[in-house]
Amino acid sequence: MIELYIDGASAGNPGLSGAGIFVKNGHNSLQYSIPLDEMTNHEAEYEAFIIGLEKCLPYKDQIISCKTDSQAVYAAVEKRFIKNRKYAHYLPKMTQLLDQFDLFFIKWIPGKENAVADKLAREAIYKQKKKS
């Protein structure tokens, strides 16, 4: 089973943003700290989820267990629907990626259980601020 932890963060709302992706495959893990454009926190969460799915495509024939502290992302995946029209444009890409996985599960977790992905998302913002 592959465990995928995702988090998006924004320094301001909107502001410089980052995605944190943590993929655990048994004793092996991959960590990604990805700078994003200026966007809201919700947009960063959706972007992080899409990037996380893309990073897991090589494992699409395995069980993927995704963990997020974003209730919006969790609800969007569970219902295959995004209530807020402002973010609805993310749904087609999410659905297209989700449909490629044999078994995909998502679970909402409290932020304190998502510390690695959160740290990676914040590092991505810091990298951008440091360049400026």
Tell me the per-residue pLDDT of 26-78, one tens digit each, with 9 for 90 and over: 999 999 999 999 999 999 999 999 999 999 999 999 999 999 999 999 999 99
Would you say residue 132 has pLDDT above 90? no
Instruction: Give this prediction's pTM.
Output: 0.96
Burial status of residue 129 (CB atoms within 10 A of its CB: 0-12, 13-18, 19 or more) = exposed
For 28, the enclosing helix (H) or strand (E) is strand 28-39
- Residue 11, token pair as written in the block: 């320094």
Would you say residue 131 has pLDDT above 90? no
Note whether 36 and 20 are within 8 A (CB). Answer: no
- pLDDT confidence tier of residue 130, bands split at 50, 70 and 90: confident
For the chain, the first-to-last Cα distance in angstroms comes to: 40
Question: What is the amino acid identity at position 71?
Answer: Q
Task: Please state the domain extents for the chain.
Answer: 2-131
CA gap 89, 69 in Å, rounded: 21
Note whether 67 and 50 are within 8 A (CB). Answer: no
CATH 3.30.420.10 fits 2-131, yes or no: yes
Residues contacting 101, CB < 8 A, separation 6+: 53, 56, 60, 64
